[in-house]
Amino acid sequence: MDIVKANEQNRDYSQPARPRDKDVKTMRIFGIKTDLDTEQAPFGALYQADLRRIKVNMPPMLALVSSVIFGMSFMGNPAVAQNTLSFEVTPFKQALAESIGQDDEVAAFYRARQFAPIWTGADDESLARRAAFLEALASAEHHGLPQSRFNEDALLSRMTGITTDRDLGALEVELSHLYLDYAHSVQSGLIDNPGTIDGDIKRRPIRRSNSDLLDLLVEERPKKAFQSLAPQSPEYVRLMREKLRLQQVVSGRGWGAQIPEGKLELGDKGASVVRLRDRLVAMGFLAPSLSATFDDRMKAAVESFQNAHGLLPDGVAGPATLREINVEPIDRLQSVIVAMERERWLNLPDGRGKRHIWVNLVDFHARILDDGKTSFSTRSVIGHRDPDRRSPEFSDVMEHMVINPTWYVPRSIIVNEYLPQLRNNPNAVSHLQVVNRQGQVIDRSIGFAGYSARSFPFSMRQPPGPKNALGTVKFMFPNKYNIYLHDTPSKSLFNRESRAFSHGCIRLADPHDFAYALLSKQEDAPEAFFQSILRNGKERRVNLKEKVPVHLVYRTAYTQPKGPMNYRGDVYGRDAKIWSELARLGVVLGGADS
């Protein structure tokens, strides 16, 4: 907006500047008779003349409000401002105190300042905060926030209604509350408790205290303070960029006509190939071409698309690939906005860890990141789609690994899967030991037909060995969900595109290499160290000297430093639920001008 731009130029109003219609209208609301709608004089000079008329003809409070609205501080003359804007403080302070309500942190903040304003003053600091706040509200939609909730036009309109000291005190608190709402939303997410949307989202965004956010405003330069609120991660910046790009696509011609179901491969020709070509070009996977033949360039483009969407990169546009190619940009935009919200949930005060483990469930990969860069990556298997087997989302800290682990069978698996078999045949699932509460293996000849899920008093375990369900190693970040990373003897599942087969834990395709990468920080020869323990065959716990944060996340849209945007399927339907909640809160899809 013009006022903000002028403020950024040290409020040099001697330069010609054309006022907006909104500014002219606001001046008239205050009964200021001006020639602003003429072309006879520069806006800056006219406005300074109007300020002189304000001081003569208007009540002091309206003069102050005019400065609030237009971002002026009475031509930088504090003495004039003090004389002109003197007013009774008691009504202001009383209204401010009454408007704070039950927010103890906000109340304490203003009490410490003796109820001095931070927004509605005529000083340069208040001026800068107002300008920075209005600028932030104007860009709220860029962050995927609801413009209806953070609307700078509505705020300006509210300002024009101020007529008394009490009104100004109430406005002061309204500004602080709106700021805190915006700060929490852009910093930690719109959804305060994602677990209410889906019970398997076991994370609660960390909200900075209101007092810390208000202190930020008075301790830091306003523009810098507002810029620091949103996540500073490269991922968030790239997601914002992709959001803008997709909005422009949605506002334009989209990605072209969809491709009929079927299969397209090298050598094919015809209308379907032309449609495939056009969509690949529009999405940026293929250079513009007039070819109507599925040639080598198109095959390479299809492979690139498949890699970016978690598909087997065979260069054949089969049913699964065509289904993904036919997804419309507005649907991808929805995924990006949800990913931005999820990125805000992980905007942690101390970061995610210099070294951390990142498991994107729907990407079916686990990665070790050092200083923000992937140092190791392996395929993974996640929990089955059945509601009671889905892998949860949460963050914890990996403390140790267990080599040659024993598998202690979870109670839910015992009573739901194994007990029915034991009732019919006490020697069923013979690879498992049935143990009593003292840890002693019991004689199966006692039979189990008389036990129910509630009365079954035993536990079950599988000793270390090549067929152990956990394989040769498990990686522990102790948590109440009993989730961990581990090896598996079922290696064939890692060849599937979609790998949701476990009971909730995360299976790794390359657990030994994963272990070597973790041990490299504490062992000179990590592979030899690991293998010597493995050959021994006995269960052994190995503590990590430096604990490693683990983040189990769910990102159907994510970026990479170089290359195309990546999209994955909504395996458990969680993103659809999150989008529904964001839409309920006022977030909208649409083009760049919506």
Do 238-332+572-584 and 352-406+467-555 agree at the fold level?
no
Pairwise CA distance, residues 316 & 300, whole Å: 10
Per-residue model confidence (pLDDT) at position 592: 44
Global pTM reads 0.82
238-332+572-584 under CATH 1.10.101.10, yes or no: yes
Per-residue model confidence (pLDDT) at position 169: 92
CB atoms within 10 A of CB 343: 21
Pairwise CA distance, residues 434 & 53, whole Å: 92
Block means of pLDDT (10 residues each) for the chain, 594 residues, are 37 38 33 35 30 36 39 40 43 86 90 91 92 95 95 89 89 96 98 97 95 95 96 96 96 94 95 96 95 96 97 96 97 98 96 97 98 96 96 98 95 93 94 93 92 94 92 97 96 95 96 98 96 96 98 97 95 98 93 45
Cα-flanking dihedrals φ and ψ of residue 454, to 5°?
Answer: -80, -35
Pairwise CA distance, residues 329 & 251, whole Å: 10
Q: Tokens 């002026």: give the residue.
A: 72
Q: Are 264 and 273 in contact (CB under 8 A)?
A: yes
Q: Residue 371 is encoded by which pair of tokens?
A: 């200083």
Q: In this structure, which topology does domain 352-406+467-555 adopt according to CATH?
A: L,D-transpeptidase catalytic domain-like (2.40.440)
Bridge partners, 250 (sequence order): none
Task: Tell me which residue of 345, 342, 351, 352 sits closest to 205, measured CA to CA.
Answer: 345
Q: Are 88 and 142 in contact (CB under 8 A)?
A: no
Sequence spans of domains, the chain:
2-84, 89-230, 238-332+572-584, 352-406+467-555, 407-462
Give the contacts of 266 (CB within 8 A, at least 6 positions apart): 294, 295, 296, 299, 315, 316
Q: Are 19 and 2 in contact (CB under 8 A)?
A: yes
Q: Are 287 and 297 in contact (CB under 8 A)?
A: yes
DSSP code of 416? I
Pairwise CA distance, residues 187 & 210, whole Å: 12
Per-residue model confidence (pLDDT) at position 32: 32
Q: Are 552 and 395 in contact (CB under 8 A)?
A: yes
Sign of the C-alpha dihedral, residues 313, 319, 320, 325?
A: positive
Three-state secondary-structure class, residue 544: strand
Per-residue model confidence (pLDDT) at position 386: 96
Q: Are 556 and 566 in contact (CB under 8 A)?
A: no
Q: Are 227 and 136 in contact (CB under 8 A)?
A: no
Per-residue model confidence (pLDDT) at position 466: 83
Give the contacts of 217 (CB within 8 A, at least 6 positions apart): 118, 129, 179, 225
Task: Tell me which residue of 179, 164, 156, 157 sits closest to 94, measured CA to CA.
Answer: 164
Q: Burial, 446: exposed, middle or buried (Cβ in 10 Å; 0-12, 13-18, 19+)?
A: exposed
Three-state secondary-structure class, residue 361: helix
Per-residue model confidence (pLDDT) at position 122: 87
Bridge partners, 566 (sequence order): 558
Q: Are 131 and 11 in contact (CB under 8 A)?
A: no
- Render 430-488 in DSSP notation, one character per residue: TTSEEE-TTSPBPPGGG--TT--TTT---EEEE-SSTT-TTTTEEEE---TT---EE--
Pairwise CA distance, residues 149 & 37, whole Å: 32
Q: Are 557 and 239 in contact (CB under 8 A)?
A: yes
Pairwise CA distance, residues 89 & 105, whole Å: 22
Q: Are 415 and 455 in contact (CB under 8 A)?
A: no
